[in-house]
């Protein structure tokens, strides 16, 4: 922030003479970050995500070792890269992380601060994009941290059944961070449209898990193809580096499309509704 | 300057604000009066771009609020004291507001100082703030950008007598600095203390828009109440007062005299030798003027059925 010229008038000693040099979008992003970091729930969520990641990746690593050493020869995963454990752990951990996107908007409605926010930044598009930048940035960084935690926990548990090639592990950690950021912002967009945290979480559970799982269950190709278009499944193909049913990059694009759609829905609702 | 042109807001079939056309000018405190449900808050929310008008326009310095890039420099507002996150500190609340408009962080300390919140209060989380502190915090937020236009919705709510006096002086000072100050209240007595001009709403419609003095002058400038045990004496007093050009109502309990001073009435009582038990000057108040103006437009009329549905 630039230092602005001061006058000697006591009431407005630091009031800039004209409009500030900070653009409204940069200001909105700074404000959103200030709001997110100044509430306790943000840091509890980060802690909960770290613990969930450590527990889940430890458990998945134990499963992998057991599968390799038990009497049943039909399921032997063999020597696993720790990156697989990391990406596999996201299936559960994501529900903790997406709370960051959810609360970034539902808490504003619950406490009435949305009216202050919209008075400070009247452009609904600007408000939502600023929130998306902050939530996306924080969940991406958190994703990197969680990837590190997952790898650090899984590697010693896997022992001889694990390997951690530097390049591959880093790529998996980065992909995990990207996945979590996109899911976090999707949660933000849906929450802006739905306002209620419980309703939003229900819709997210349905989109990420329940509906695609039900579609895949009967094993009918047509239904499985539809399930492949859902955000969680698309993200899963991206994380697994699949080539079927579509390349991993397409999985990433599909997930990003859901996120963009969620934001568009949120913006539409925000612009239309009285605060 | 706030400009309203045919401003209308409907919620379903209920009309909250009905074709409001009005200019709120700088350099004076404009009191925004009306019974609960008259549309004051809805009007303010439309000015601030929070509610979308069904029809018409609300402009601040000629522009619609949603077009403003750094609105805190142009309009400050106090809407409700409860709008703070329970675990966010009062200071962080203001810092976030300041950042959004590129206002330097040291301005936060200035406005905290200005509204009398010390470091300890500013560090408190939202849920630990009293209603009065929340109100001061809201006013601090309104002053962040040192704006030329201020909207204060029921600012004295929850304040102790010191706080009320402080608000009155404060709104006066802000107006004297040439700002546009719109203060809403459902308390007529409050407006009488602070407002230069009064805008009265009833059922979303404009009922009056006049200088306070004019609104009060429209009423008889006070009455004198006389009670006594002798109807004959009171009748004689009435005839004498009427002969002097006063307007007198005689009812079962006594006289109500308009157009004569209490001193003159007392002199006549002595001159005529009438026994009286009470002689009271009754000042005309904004309250009376207000009640008269809004008599037909009270949203929730008290009655045995508890009022009509919305």
Name the residue with tokens 């706030």.
B2
For residues B299 and A62, the model is more confident at A62
Residue B290 CB partners (closer than 8 Å, separation 6+): B33, B188, B200
Chain B residues close to A116, C-beta within 8 Å: 83, 93, 97, 141
Distance of CA B129 to the CA centre of its chain: 25
pLDDT of residue A19: 63
Contact status, residue B95 vs residue B108, Cβ threshold 8 Å: yes
| Helix (H) or strand (E) segment spanning residue B96 | helix B90-100
Give the mean pLDDT of B46-59: 95
Using alpha carbons only, how large is chain B's radius of gyration in Å? 24
A258 belongs to a structural domain: no
A256 belongs to a structural domain: no
Name the residue with tokens 């309703």.
A199
- pLDDT over 60 (residue B220): no
Q: Is B101 on the interface with A (CB under 8 A)?
A: yes
Q: Is B127 on the interface with A (CB under 8 A)?
A: no
Which of A34, A115, A274 has the CB atom closest to B52's CB atom?
Answer: A274
A35 belongs to a structural domain: yes
Q: Which residues make beta-bridge pairs with B225? A: B256, B280
Contact B99 A14 (CB under 8 A): no
pLDDT of residue B219: 54
A145 belongs to a structural domain: yes
- pLDDT over 80 (residue B275): yes
pLDDT band at B217 (very low <50, low <70, confident <90, very high): low
Tokens of A218: 């009967």
Which ipTM was obtained for this model? Answer: 0.87
> What domain range is A171 assigned to?
24-198
For residues B305 and A234, the model is more confident at A234
Rounded Cα distance, B52 and B42, in Å = 10
Q: How many CB atoms lie within 10 A of CB A229?
A: 15
Rounded Cα distance, A250 and A230, in Å = 12
Contact B100 A27 (CB under 8 A): yes
Residue in B with minimal Cα distance to A118 = B50
Name the residue with tokens 């530097």.
A166
Q: Is A4 on the interface with B (CB under 8 A)?
A: yes
* pLDDT, tens digit (0-9, with 9 covering 90-100), for B12-24: 999 999 999 999 9
Contact A3 B104 (CB under 8 A): yes
Contact status, residue A118 vs residue B49, Cβ threshold 8 Å: yes
A107 belongs to a structural domain: yes
Contact status, residue A70 vs residue A63, Cβ threshold 8 Å: no
Helix (H, G, I), strand (E, B) or coil at A247: coil
What order do you get walking across the sheet with B247-251 strand by strand? B247-251, B254-258, B223-227, B278-282
Judged by CB atoms within 8 Å, which residues 190-249 of B form the interface with A? none
Rama region for B56: left / alpha / beta (φ>0; ψ in -120 to 50; rest): left
Which of A158, A167, A182, A191 lies closest to A236 in space, CA to CA?
A182
Q: How many domains does chain A have?
A: 1
Q: How many CB atoms lie within 10 A of CB A122?
A: 20
How many A/B residue pairs have CB atoms within 8 Å? 124
DSSP B248: E
A165 belongs to a structural domain: yes
Q: Buried (b) or exposed (e) across B285-296, using 16+ Cβ within 10 A?
A: ebebbbeebbee
Among A5-19, B66-80, B96-110, B244-258, name the one with the lowest average pLDDT: A5-19
Highest mean pLDDT out of A145-159, B225-239, B251-265: A145-159
Residue in B with minimal Cα distance to A10 = B110
pLDDT of residue A170: 95
Whole-structure pTM over 0.90, yes or no? no
pLDDT of residue A6: 35
Q: Which residues make beta-bridge pairs with B28? A: B180
A15 belongs to a structural domain: no
Using alpha carbons only, how large is chain A's radius of gyration in Å? 22
Rounded Cα distance, A216 and A223, in Å = 6
Give the mean pLDDT of B172-196: 88
Helix (H, G, I), strand (E, B) or coil at A23: coil
- pLDDT over 90 (residue B57): yes
Q: How many CB atoms lie within 10 A of CB B69?
A: 18
Domains, in order of start, for chain B? 2-217 (3.40.50.300), 223-282 (3.30.70)
Judged by CB atoms within 8 Å, which residues 79-98 of B form the interface with A? 79-80, 82-89, 92-93, 95-97
Helices (H), chain A: 24-37, 40-69, 82-111, 113-120, 124-158, 166-194, 197-205, 211-216, 221-228, 231-240, 248-272
Q: Is B107 on the interface with A (CB under 8 A)?
A: yes
pLDDT of residue B103: 95
Disruptive mutation site among B99, B112, B137, B174 for chain A (greatest number of A CBs within 10 Å): B99
A31 belongs to a structural domain: yes
Biggest distance spanned by C-alpha atoms of chain B: 76
Name the residue with tokens 């499985």.
A224
Which of B83, B87, B104 has the CB atom closest to A4's CB atom?
Answer: B104
- pLDDT over 80 (residue B305): no
Contact A119 B83 (CB under 8 A): no
Contact B100 A11 (CB under 8 A): no
Judged by CB atoms within 8 Å, which residues 88-107 of A form the interface with B? 107
pLDDT band at B208 (very low <50, low <70, confident <90, very high): confident
- From the CA of B67, how many Å to the nearest CA of chain A? 7
For residues B190 and A213, the model is more confident at A213
Which of B66, B83, B89 has the CB atom closest to A111's CB atom?
Answer: B83
Angle of CA points B76, A196, A119, to nearest 5° = 10
Contact status, residue B275 vs residue B236, Cβ threshold 8 Å: no
Residue A184 CB partners (closer than 8 Å, separation 6+): A97, A98, A100, A101, A135, A136, A138, A139
Which of B60, B36, B38 lies closest to B47 in space, CA to CA?
B60
- From the CA of A218, how many Å to the nearest CA of chain B? 46
Point out the residues of chain A with pLDDT beneath 70. Answer: 1-19
Counting other chains too, the contacts that A195-203 makes at CB distance below 8 Å and 24 or more residues apart are A195/A105, A195/A106, A195/A109, A196/A106, A197/A102, A197/A103, A197/A106, A197/A110, A200/A102, A200/A106, A201/A102
Contact A14 B48 (CB under 8 A): no
Judged by CB atoms within 8 Å, which residues 7-46 of A form the interface with B? 11-16, 19-24, 26-28, 30-32, 34-35, 38-41
Contact B68 A122 (CB under 8 A): yes
Chain B residues close to A40, C-beta within 8 Å: 87
Rounded Cα distance, B92 and A133, in Å = 20
* pLDDT, tens digit (0-9, with 9 covering 90-100), for B23-50: 999 999 999 988 888 899 999 999 999 9
* Averaged pLDDT of chain B: 87
- pLDDT over 60 (residue B300): no
Which of B223, B255, B60 lies closest to B149 in space, CA to CA?
B60
Which of B49, B86, B105 has the CB atom closest to A122's CB atom?
Answer: B49
């Amino acid at each position: 922030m630039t230092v602005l010229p001061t006058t000697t008038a006591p009431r407005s000693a630091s009031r800039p003479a004209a409009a500030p040099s900070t653009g409204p979008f940069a200001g909105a992003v700074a404000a959103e970050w200030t709001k997110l970091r100044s509430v306790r729930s943000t840091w509890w969520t980060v802690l909960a995500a770290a613990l969930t990641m450590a527990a889940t990746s430890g458990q998945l690593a134990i499963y992998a070792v057991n599968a390799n050493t038990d009497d049943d020869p039909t399921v032997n995963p063999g020597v696993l890269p720790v990156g697989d454990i990391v990406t596999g752990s996201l299936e559960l951990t994501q529900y903790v992380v997406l709370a960051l996107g959810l609360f970034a908007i539902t808490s504003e409605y619950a406490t009435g601060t949305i009216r202050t926010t919209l008075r400070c930044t009247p452009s609904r598009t600007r408000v939502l994009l600023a929130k998306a930048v902050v939530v996306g940035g924080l969940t991406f960084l958190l994703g990197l941290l969680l990837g590190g935690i997952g790898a650090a926990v899984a590697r010693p548990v896997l022992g001889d059944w694990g390997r951690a090639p530097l390049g591959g592990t880093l790529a998996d950690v980065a992909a995990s961070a990207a996945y979590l950021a996109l899911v976090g912002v999707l949660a933000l967009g849906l929450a802006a449209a739905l306002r209620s945290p419980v309703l939003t979480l229900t819709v997210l559970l349905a989109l990420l898990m329940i509906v695609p799982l039900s579609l895949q269950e009967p094993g009918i190709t047509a239904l499985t193809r539809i399930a492949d278009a859902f955000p969680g499944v698309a993200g899963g193909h991206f994380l697994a580096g699949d080539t079927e049913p579509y390349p991993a990059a397409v999985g990433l694009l599909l997930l990003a499309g859901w996120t963009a759609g969620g934001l568009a829905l949120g913006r539409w609702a925000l612009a239309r509704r009285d605060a | 300057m706030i400009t309203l042109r045919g401003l209308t807001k409907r919620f379903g079939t209920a009309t909250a604000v009905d074709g409001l056309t009005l200019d709120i000018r700088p350099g004076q405190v404009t009191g925004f009066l009306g019974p609960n449900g008259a549309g004051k808050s809805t009007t303010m929310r439309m000015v601030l771009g929070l509610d979308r008008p069904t029809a018409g326009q609300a402009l601040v310095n000629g522009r619609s609020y949603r077009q403003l890039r750094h609105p805190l420099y142009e309009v400050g507002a106090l809407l409700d004291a409860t709008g703070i996150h329970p675990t966010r500190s009062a200071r962080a609340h203001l810092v976030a507001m300041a950042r959004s408009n590129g206002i330097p962080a040291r301005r936060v300390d200035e406005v905290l100082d200005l509204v009398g919140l010390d470091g300890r209060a500013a560090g408190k989380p939202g849920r630990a703030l009293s209603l009065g502190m929340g109100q001061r915090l809201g006013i601090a937020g309104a002053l962040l950008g040192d704006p030329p236009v201020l909207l204060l919705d029921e600012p004295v709510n929850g304040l102790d007598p010191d706080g009320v006096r402080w608000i009155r002086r404060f709104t006066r000072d802000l107006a004297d600095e040439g700002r546009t100050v719109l203060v809403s209240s459902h308390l007529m007595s409050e407006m009488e203390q602070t407002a230069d001009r009064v805008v009265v709403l009833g059922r979303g419609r404009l009922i009056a828009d006049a200088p306070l003095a004019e609104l009060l002058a429209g009423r008889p400038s006070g009455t004198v109440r006389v009670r006594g045990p002798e109807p004959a004496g009171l009748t004689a007093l009435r005839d004498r007062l009427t002969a002097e050009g006063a307007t007198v109502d005689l009812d079962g309990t006594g006289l109500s005299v308009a157009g004569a001073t209490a001193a003159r009435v007392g002199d006549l009582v002595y001159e005529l030798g009438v026994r009286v038990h009470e002689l009271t000057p009754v000042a005309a108040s904004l309250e009376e003027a207000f009640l008269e103006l809004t008599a037909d437009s009270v949203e929730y009329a008290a009655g045995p059925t508890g009022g009509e549905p919305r």
